[in-house]
């Protein structure tokens, strides 16, 4: 006799409740139902209807305890509810707790029939069937149960599917499906290895060990208590989180504890299984306190020491993985996708390449998230930025192959702000420390030019700071001179570029005593837009006191510097370009009106241009905003904060002494 029952949905639609449409996930849900019922073997069997791979039927069977008919209304009869959740503890024994798994069959066929055998209250083996159709998921039918011969049958459940239209035999026989099942169940099968739990597909057990990348068996003895430890690193993400699984002497899971690497961004997929008689009388408690009844909990000193050692052990494994595998893969991927810049085959270029790749590996090992979530353009920008920093440290003097760099110490690995001692190659940790200091210097400089504007002078404060902070105008420039006579600046210019000193000059005495605040230059290889030549780019900066706006007088001053260069015979080459900047807190309209005249050149802040000479007028806000925009990706990734500086700003005293103090703070920073 068949009876029909209604499913209690509490007004929620079964279809709209998140039931999977993926047949693979549906199969996994049904396998979990078998293991939740205490099964040690779950079988997937399918039969082909023809040579084209069409399926006649699919059967998923298990040797669990079956579905007790007396509690059927608590299982099949209650949607988004499950009897299993009432017995759930801090273990992996029960996975299904939402009562939705039984409806996942709709991804496979239009109907499913469960034939289940269970032991009733009279200790008799009974069998009956349950059927659900997709045409009406709010109802299910149940047959009468009947006694079966326990010498022939055992408890368990078979789920039968027919009228299969969407799937073929290849959906179950090919590698992607096998890999998916391994990914879902490998950690569980490993956990229950002593029970010989298996999943079979048409009589062949899946090899869950195929997704194990590394396995290490070790042990620890703590306070005379022995612990056997199995560490596994999976070669792909598993369906469970990353846990320490604690097992007693009967190899039964007592409880599990999350590792500290569940939020890692480096694909460090791992599980650790710890077995000991210590867990025979152990009770995991949400709020543990000392016990005196022979039961142990997390407050026990042995347990605390065990977890300390295990976290240390796993931290070491994570570091090995990052350094030896993840970082190497990152470099290989960057090279294959063209993220790394092009290097020549000569010894020096290969040295530069090694320097850059070593640097990327070190910074990735210390903080992998810096390289996560970036588009290709951002990746190229980040790598180019690192390469630029490395090249700026007079690397043209490096003539010999560098054997390697000194390994980071534990403290240096945990702090991106510390400096790594190295042989000849600067480690990126020092660069990151420098970036942090540069952020601080920018915030202090804002304080001087905005809050302490009445007490900040051009010569005593701004100019001294910019001698160290010339990088605000471009990482590619070397500092040539700061607040020196212009003639000496030109001499230094020739020395830097050509490696020789020139003492003669055609400048008259009145011109020689003109003093540019900052003079930076470099033989910077800039493509010439009109030919295949490379241009040499130079920059001169005039800094004004913050309370002096840029007007005609200030503009004429920087224009005079330009004319000095124009009149100097040594600087007449068309392959040299010159950029002159005048900077202050504000700009008068008579100067900003010049922006429009040169707008066609598409160069922001440009107020004059002739031949290879250009003059730019900028505010400090422009300078600070450019720094923020140019470095936003790395400042954000490194989680830099200016909270402490902002707090200092609130309490600052407005005085010359305070301007002096802040200036000294910046000068002491390693920039």
The model's pLDDT over 118-157, given as tens digits with 9 standing for 90+, comes to 999 999 999 999 999 888 877 889 999 999 998 889 999 9
Residue 518's pLDDT band, with cuts at 50, 70 and 90, is low
Residue 666 CA to residue 445 CA, distance in Å, equals 8
Q: What pLDDT was estimated at residue 484?
A: 60
Structure tokens at 15: 């279809």
Q: What pLDDT was estimated at residue 401?
A: 25
The closest alpha carbon to 462, from 620, 634, 298, belongs to 620
344 Cβ partners below 8 Å, 6+ apart?
Answer: 350
Residue 29 CA to residue 106 CA, distance in Å, equals 12
Instruction: Identify the residue whose tokens are 């077995």.
Output: 275
The closest alpha carbon to 136, from 163, 103, 172, belongs to 103
467 Cβ partners below 8 Å, 6+ apart?
Answer: 479, 482, 483, 518
Interval 480-505: pLDDT, tens: 655 566 556 666 666 665 555 555 55
Structure tokens at 427: 């480690």
Where along the chain do the CATH 3.30.565.10 domains lie? 2-173
Structure tokens at 604: 């922001």
Residue 201 CA to residue 129 CA, distance in Å, equals 23
| Helix segments in 519-655, DSSP class H | 552-567, 589-597, 620-637, 643-650
Residue 86 or 539, more confident: 539
Residue 355 CA to residue 359 CA, distance in Å, equals 6
Average pLDDT over residues 184-211: 94
3-class SS of residue 573: coil
Q: What pLDDT was estimated at residue 85?
A: 46
Backbone angles phi, psi at 571, to 5 degrees: -120, 40
Average pLDDT over residues 239-246: 94
Sign of CA dihedral 285, 288, 294, 296: positive
Q: What pLDDT was estimated at residue 416?
A: 33
Fold exhibited by the domain 2-173 = Heat Shock Protein 90 (3.30.565)
What beta strand segments (E) does 102-224 contain? Answer: 111-119, 125-133, 139-143, 146-147, 156-162, 198-201, 204-205, 212-222
Residue 398 above 70 pLDDT?
A: no
The full 3-state SS of 467-534, as one line of letters, equals: HHCHHHHCCCCEEEEECCCHHHHHHHHHHHHHCCCCCCCCCCHHHHCCCCCEEEECCCCEECCCCCCE
Q: What pLDDT was estimated at residue 198?
A: 95
Question: Across 148-152, 276-280, 533-537, which has the greatest mean pLDDT?
Answer: 276-280
Q: For a pLDDT cut of 90, what percent of the chain falls above it?
A: 33
Interval 582-630: pLDDT, tens: 888 899 999 998 998 888 888 889 999 988 899 999 999 999 888 888 7
The closest alpha carbon to 564, from 494, 489, 483, 502, belongs to 489
Residue 414 or 115, more confident: 115
């Amino acid at each position: 006799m068949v009876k029909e029952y209604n499913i209690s949905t509490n007004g929620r639609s079964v279809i709209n409740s998140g039931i999977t449409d993926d047949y693979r996930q549906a199969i996994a849900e049904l396998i979990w139902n078998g293991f939740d019922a205490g099964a040690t073997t779950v079988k997937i069997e399918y039969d082909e209807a023809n040579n084209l791979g069409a399926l006649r039927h699919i059967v998923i069977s298990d040797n669990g305890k079956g579905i007790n008919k007396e509690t059927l209304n608590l299982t099949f009869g209650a949607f988004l509810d499950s009897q299993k959740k009432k017995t759930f503890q801090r273990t992996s024994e029960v996975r299904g707790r939402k009562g939705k798994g039984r409806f996942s069959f709709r991804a496979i066929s239009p109907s499913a029939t469960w034939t289940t055998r269970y032991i009733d209250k009279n200790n008799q083996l009974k069998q009956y069937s349950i059927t659900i159709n997709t045409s009406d998921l709010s109802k299910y039918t149940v047959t009468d149960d009947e006694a079966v011969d326990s010498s022939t049958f055992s408890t368990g459940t078979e789920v039968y599917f027919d009228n299969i239209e969407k799937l073929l035999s290849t959906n179950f026989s090919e590698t992607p499906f096998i890999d998916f099942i391994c990914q879902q169940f490998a950690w569980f099968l490993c956990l229950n290895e002593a029970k010989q739990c298996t999943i079979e597909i048409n009589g062949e057990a899946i090899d869950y060990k195929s997704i194990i990348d590394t396995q290490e068996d070790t042990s620890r003895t703590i306070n005379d208590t022995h612990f056997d430890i199995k560490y596994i690193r999976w070669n792909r993400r598993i369906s469970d989180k990353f846990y320490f699984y604690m097992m007693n002497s009967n190899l039964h899971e007592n409880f599990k504890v999350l590792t500290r690497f569940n939020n890692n961004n480096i694909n460090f997929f791992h599980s650790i299984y710890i077995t000991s008689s210590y867990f025979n009388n152990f009770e995991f408690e949400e709020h543990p306190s000392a016990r005196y009844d022979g039961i142990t909990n997390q407050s026990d000193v042995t347990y605390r020491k065990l977890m300390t050692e295990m976290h240390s052990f796993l931290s070491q494994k994570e570091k090995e993985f990052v350094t030896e595998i993840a970082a190497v893969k990152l470099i290989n991927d960057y090279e294959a996708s063209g993220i790394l810049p092009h290097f020549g085959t000569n010894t020096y270029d290969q040295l530069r390449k090694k320097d850059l790749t070593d640097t990327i590996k070190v910074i990735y090992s210390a903080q992998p998230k810096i390289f996560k979530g970036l588009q290709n353009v951002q990746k190229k920008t980040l790598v180019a930025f690192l390469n630029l920093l490395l090249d700026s440290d007079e690397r043209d003097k490096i003539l010999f192959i560098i054997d390697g760099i000194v390994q980071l110490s534990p403290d240096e690995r945990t702090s991106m702000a510390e400096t790594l001692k190295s042989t000849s190659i600067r480690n990126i940790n020092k660069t990151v420390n420098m970036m942090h200091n540069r952020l601080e210097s920018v915030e202090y400089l804002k304080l001087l030019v905005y809050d302490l504007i009445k007490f900040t002078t051009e010569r005593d404060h701004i100019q001294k700071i910019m001698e160290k902070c010339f990088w605000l105008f471009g990482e590619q420039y070397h500092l040539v001179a700061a607040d020196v006579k212009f003639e000496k600046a030109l001499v230094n210019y020739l020395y830097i570029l050509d490696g020789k000193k020139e003492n003669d000059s055609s400048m008259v005495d009145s011109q020689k005593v003109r003093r540019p605040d900052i003079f930076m230059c470099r033989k910077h290889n800039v493509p010439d837009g009109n030919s295949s030549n490379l241009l040499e780019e130079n920059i001169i900066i005039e800094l004004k006191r913050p309370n002096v706006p840029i007007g005609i007088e200030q503009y004429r001053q920087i224009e005079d510097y330009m004319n000095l260069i124009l009149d100097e015979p040594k600087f007449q080459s068309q392959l040299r370009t010159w950029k002159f900047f005048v900077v202050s807190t504000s700009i008068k309209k008579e100067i900003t009106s010049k922006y429009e005249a040169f707008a066609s050149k598409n160069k922001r802040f440009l107020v004059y241009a002739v031949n290879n000479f250009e003059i730019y007028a900028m505010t400090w806000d422009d300078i600070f905003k450019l720094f923020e925009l140019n470095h936003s990706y790395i400042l954000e990734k490194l989680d830099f904060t200016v909270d402490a500086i902002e707090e200092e700003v609130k309490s600052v005293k407005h005085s010359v002494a305070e301007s002096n103090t802040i200036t000294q703070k910046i000068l002491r920073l390693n920039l």
